[in-house]
Amino acid sequence: MSLIVLIESVDGAVATASLESLGAARELVSQGFGSEVVALCAGGGHDAALLGDHGAQRVLEVEDLGAYSADGYAEAFAKVLGMQEARGVFAAATVRGRELLARVASLLDLSVYSEAVGLEVEDGSLVVTRPLFAGKVITRVRCNAPVACVSLRPKVFAPKSGQGEASREGLSAGTLEMKAVVQEILATAAGKIELTEADIIVSGGRGTGGPEGFAPIEALAEKLGAAVGASRAVVDSGWRPHSDQVGQTGKVVNPTLYIACGISGAIQHLAGMKNSRYIVAINKDPEAPIFKVADYGIVGDLFEVCPALTAAL
Ligand SMILES: Cc1cc2nc3c(=O)[nH]c(=O)nc-3n(C[C@H](O)[C@H](O)[C@H](O)COP(=O)(O)OP(=O)(O)OC[C@H]3O[C@@H](n4cnc5c(N)ncnc54)[C@H](O)[C@@H]3O)c2cc1C
């Protein structure tokens, strides 16, 4: 019985979050849940050696899948899954992974266990640990369905290399009903680091005072090789794009280091970043709630502290 991992890639380059999912699936196989890990890819040209090294034992490429379409890809993946003896279907809980897995599950009449932060095998069943209510409650759910469909929160499961090799097989999706197709992806900035994959994030809040107030944050981020995030107050004010928002209604991030500048620490913001390994807060209000979750707190003006940190670095 296979554990099938839906691989997310851009121009053939596999997302790190998908490599993490492969590692998690392979770990389950080693615990006796499923017998092999299969990487299911859209389009040809994927690096089977890389996928094998990270845990795939078989790589299935649906070669005639072109530009991304949620319903088209889901239909194609559901067709392929229908031909496999699957015990589990996994995807990274990215924007695309969540969208696809939900559609695939719906087509196959399966339930999705979303945003897993832990996977265990108990008495032959898969037990998924997942947060609810913006992380206030952690649940452990036993999947009794014949096929477990699980999305995995990025940067929780470490990618594991050195797993072995994978065979490769090309498939055809046949005719698909595509209601909408992505025609063009407009990159916002070349080389921009995706928030959910970033190891370091420097985020700005309303304390920046406006879009130009992000200059010291951008400079610090550049020095650290970090991604730039923002609170919802900032995004709602139009100072930064929505894709930068961290929090309950934005992105959930898990970096090694999260530097919050001029962010008060509202519960909805904390829901998106409180699992960061180290949190540094820069805020001029010593009573700001962000200091309750911070490992290091600097009470001060971000317009003085950020340039000083950048200069010191
Ligand atoms: C349903 C719902 C969902 C939400 N989802 C999200 C979400 O996903 N993400 C999110 O972030 N919020 C979310 N919010 C909004 C959230 O409740 C807060 O309003 C928001 O996070 C506040 O943003 P902020 O910390 O930037 O602003 P504020 O709360 O206004 O805090 C600004 C902080 O900056 C400090 N400051 C000011 N000037 C300086 C300076 N020069 N130097 C240093 N510090 C300074 C102040 O002391 C203050 O602590 C949501 C709210 C609701 C109701």
Domain with 246 in it: what CATH number? Answer: 3.40.50.1220
Residues 130 and 41 in one domain: yes
CA angle 132, 138, 144 (to 5 degrees): 90
Q: Where are the beta strands (DSSP E) in the chain?
A: 2-6, 9-10, 13-14, 36-42, 58-62, 86-92, 112-116, 118-122, 125-132, 137-143, 148-152, 167-171, 200-204, 227-230, 257-261, 278-283, 296-299
- Judge contact between 94 and 5, C-beta under 8 A: no
In a domain, 203, yes or no: yes
Does ligand 1 have an atom closer than 6 angstroms to the CB of 266?
Answer: yes
Length of the chain: 313
- Judge contact between 228 and 202, C-beta under 8 A: yes
Can you tell me which residue has the tokens 């609810």?
Answer: 132
In a domain, 184, yes or no: no
Q: What is the mean pLDDT of the chain?
A: 93
- Judge contact between 154 and 17, C-beta under 8 A: yes
Residues 285 and 239 in one domain: yes
> 222 pLDDT exceeds 90?
yes
Residues 112 and 239 in one domain: no
In whole angstroms, how far apart are CA 41 and each of 64, 68, 215, 300?
Answer: 11, 12, 39, 49
Residues 18 and 138 in one domain: yes
Residues 248 and 108 in one domain: no
Which residue among 133, 252, 264 is best mutated to probe the pocket of ligand 1, counting the most ligand atoms within 8 A of its Cβ?
Answer: 264
In a domain, 298, yes or no: yes
Supply the residue whose CA is at minimum distance from atom 36 of ligand 1: 207
In a domain, 180, yes or no: no
Name which residue leads in pLDDT, 211 or 133.
211
Confidence label for 190 from pLDDT (cuts 50, 70 and 90): low
Burial 291-312 (b: 16+ CB within 10 A, else e): bebbeebbeeebbebbeebbee
> 187 pLDDT exceeds 70?
no
Does ligand 1 have an atom closer than 6 angstroms to the CB of 216?
Answer: no
Name which residue leads in pLDDT, 62 or 193.
62
Percent of the chain with pLDDT over 90: 80
Can you tell me which residue has the tokens 């719906």?
Answer: 106
Assigned token pair, 167: 């065979």
Does ligand 1 have an atom closer than 6 angstroms to the CB of 285?
Answer: yes
In a domain, 262, yes or no: yes
In a domain, 28, yes or no: yes
Number of domains composing the chain:
2
Q: Report the C-alpha gap between 244 and 217 in whole angstroms.
A: 13
Supply the residue whose CA is at minimum distance from atom 8 of ligand 1: 247
Supply the residue whose CA is at minimum distance from atom 52 of ligand 1: 268
Q: Report the C-alpha gap between 289 and 293 in whole angstroms.
A: 8
Q: What are the residue ranges of helices labelled H in 69-152?
A: 70-83, 95-108
Confidence label for 189 from pLDDT (cuts 50, 70 and 90): low
pLDDT per residue as tens digits for the range 40-99:
999 888 999 999 999 999 999 999 888 888 989 999 999 999 888 999 999 999 989 999
Does ligand 1 have an atom closer than 6 angstroms to the CB of 54?
Answer: no
Q: Report the C-alpha gap between 271 and 156 in whole angstroms.
A: 15
- Least Cα distance to 9 among 79, 105, 91, 89 occurs for 91
- Judge contact between 279 and 265, C-beta under 8 A: no
Q: Are strands 118-122 and 125-132 parallel, antiparallel or unpaired?
A: antiparallel
Q: Report the C-alpha gap between 285 and 174 in whole angstroms.
A: 60
Q: Which pLDDT value is given to residue 173?
A: 81
Q: Could you tell me the residue range of the domain that residue 230 belongs to?
A: 195-312
